[in-house]
Structure 1
Amino acid sequence: MHSERFRALLDSVRYEVLPAKATLDKVLAHVPRDVVVTVTASPVKGLEPTLDLATRLSAHGYSVVPHVPARLLRDDAHLADVVHRLREAGVDDVFVPAGDADPPAGPYEGALPLLRHLAELGSPFARVGITGYPERHPLIDDDITIQAMWDKHAHATYIVSNLCFDSRVLGEWVTRVRRRDVTLPVHVGVAGPVERTKLLAMAAKIGVGESTRFLARHASWFVRFAAPGGYAPERLLRRSAPVLTAPSAAVAGLHLFTFNQIAETERWRRGMLERLDGC
């Protein structure tokens, strides 16, 4: 599995968490300070829980990456306030997706106008992430999503790929991105060791409306999680290793979707590292 390079990817891991009531305690109890923590944002709950958790985690010494979805920003004053609060908290890395709010809360329909406005504000964040879609986006054609990456890459410093369960699809996507001369480093999105019942419970906690949209867009995820032997992160990573470890792919690390199964995800990662050490 190209163990040396693969270990580097596991050491450069990022954990995506949802800003639920118990998230802070779970992170403090189980996540080392050298692991980057990204905090999602929901159209139902708005940006406030994301900003609050990001601020608290930063105060505890974590490198934090809050999601700032374009469609959740009410206006330019709201953006200025978000930037000020995050910079005051020591946050210098943000992830900027379009978001799913429908209709948008303000003037930003997608990520690109927001990225351009951040540049006009003097690029207040040292690192800015944008989204990549290895598997088909439920609402947008594949060629459009890759073209959008090209349009946004001048304003970003890295790409985070959405979940992918097929090593072949993942490899083809990375190749297509590089063929478009998009050279930004990629953090490959991988679901952690998720239990279906806990995933369903977490989806429900997001909020009734958002949960419905989440399930509608990603029904195939639940089928894969539910099927006996249907999904195991180590199996996907083993099959994807040639792509993930190839220098030409410029994969910077793994972005693990924890679905707030934070202790289980860290335990799984430690187990993987121990097995690699034994190779």
Structure 2
Amino acid sequence: MSKHPIHPNWERAPVGVTEGYSLEITAKDIDSLRDAAPLIAADTPVAVTFLPGEEQAARVAAAVAVRALGFEPMPHFSARRISSSDEFEDYLQAVVRNAGVQRCFLVAGDPPEPEGPYFDSSALIESGAFERAGIKAIGIGGHPEGHPVMSKEQCWEVIDKKIAAIESRGMAPLIVTQFGFDPDIVLAWLEELRSRGVEAPVRIGIPGPAGIKRLLRYAKYCGVGASASVLAKYGISLTRLMGSAGPDKLVDRFSAELGSEHGRVRLHFYPFGGIDKTVEWIADYNRRHDI
């Protein structure tokens, strides 16, 4: 597919590294998103996570609010947390009907065993529900640092399988990576991805500015590499954990080194320190770099 519906200008290189970025929120973040909205470009993709313990109605309301603010909602579907096919299709139909959803992001989910009939995100794709609902694009996870229960080669095989399944059903694939602190790992992963013939657009996960201890807690929870040498690349010293840190060094590296050989790439921000802090950081970065 030569045209990708995730972003209207995806086919051309961005003017600056932060152009066309996306955000990730929870259902509880809508008030914060509303407050930050004046600093966010229209049609910005906003992913709505699928957290345990949330009511489906809250997720639907969040997607509706994202659309009402002029952004593109991209709800998550956590396969192993879905208890039945009725729950899955009810949620999908609700976000399509009420929020005009055209793109979704799929994960297997944290539980080792499924709570219902879906073991992984491939099972959701193969259900046929997304194309029946009129979904145009499906996001899948990318793991530059590897996966806790799969070998490196298995990770590549899964990406190939999912992309083929998505495209065979008339939808466009998108890869969104976990956040990380090491640009070298991400750049090498992108080069290998493209060398394997995968042309799908990629959104690189970027941790928004936050307290250092908070960033390290999220890194531990998500299995993200946070050794002293890796954190030094990001601008964090393990001997000084007070205060906050932003992704300046990380984004600078991507700005300097991302090229045509890396294919279509945008940034995806995880606003660990708050949506307002993240979008203010992006706006300030753009001012400082004339973006």
Which bin holds the TM-score, normalised by the shorter protein? 0.7 to 0.9
Match of residue 79, structure 2, among 70, 81, 86: 70
Partner Cα separation in structure 1 for residue 245 and residue 35 of structure 2: 27
Query: 1:25/1:253 Cα in 2 relative to 1: closer, same or farther (>3 Å)?
Result: same
Q: What SS does the aligned partner of 2:77 have?
A: coil
**Structure 2 unaligned blocks of 5 or more:** 1-11, 167-171
Q: What SS does the aligned partner of 1:16 have?
A: strand
Query: 1:180/1:260 Cα in 2 relative to 1: closer, same or farther (>3 Å)?
Result: same
Q: What SS does the aligned partner of 1:25 have?
A: helix
Query: 1:221/1:26 Cα in 2 relative to 1: closer, same or farther (>3 Å)?
Result: farther
Partner Cα separation in structure 1 for residue 245 and residue 69 of structure 2: 34
More off after superposition, 67-76 vs 192-201: 192-201
Match of residue 252, structure 2, among 238, 254, 277: 238
CA drift at 1:82 = 1.5
The answer for the alignment partner of 1:10 in structure 2 is: 18
Q: Which has the higher contact order (CA 8 A, sep 6+)?
A: 1
CA drift at 1:57 = 2.0
- Equivalent residues in 2 for 1:8-157 (5 A)? 8-20=16-28, 23-31=29-37, 32-34=40-42, 35-45=44-54, 47-89=56-98, 90-118=100-128, 121-122=131-132, 124-154=134-164, 155=166, 156-157=172-173
Q: Normalized per residue, which structure has more helix?
A: 1
Q: Which amino acid aligns with 1:83?
A: L
Q: Which amino acid aligns with 2:89?
A: A
Could you report, residue by residue, the CA deviation over 1:146-205 in whole angstroms, capped at 9, with x for unpaired residues? 21111101205211011122122111111121122111011111111121355589x6xx
Could you report, residue by residue, the CA deviation over 1:56-88 in whole angstroms, capped at 9, with x for unpaired residues? 222333211111111122222222211210111
Query: 1:129/1:267 Cα in 2 relative to 1: closer, same or farther (>3 Å)?
Result: same
Partner Cα separation in structure 1 for residue 227 and residue 49 of structure 2: 20
Query: 1:200/1:163 Cα in 2 relative to 1: closer, same or farther (>3 Å)?
Result: closer
CA drift at 1:275 = 1.4
The answer for the alignment partner of 2:9 in structure 1 is: none
Q: What SS does the aligned partner of 2:252 have?
A: helix
Q: How many residues align?
A: 261
Aligned-CA RMSD value: 2.9
The answer for the alignment partner of 1:247 in structure 2 is: 260
TM-score if structure 1 supplies the norm length?
0.82
More off after superposition, 46-55 vs 246-255: 46-55
More off after superposition, 64-73 vs 188-197: 188-197
Query: 1:221/1:15 Cα in 2 relative to 1: closer, same or farther (>3 Å)?
Result: farther
Asked whether the 8 Å contact 2:145–2:224 carries over to 1, the reply is no
Percent of residue pairs identical: 24
Matched, 1:163 2:186: no
Could you report, residue by residue, the CA deviation over 1:181-232 in whole angstroms, capped at 9, with x for unpaired residues? 111011111111121355589x6xxxxxxxxxx8454374597467349964
Partner Cα separation in structure 2 for residue 260 and residue 124 of structure 1: 35
Q: Which amino acid aligns with 2:17?
A: L
TM-score if structure 2 supplies the norm length?
0.79
Query: 1:226/1:101 Cα in 2 relative to 1: closer, same or farther (>3 Å)?
Result: farther
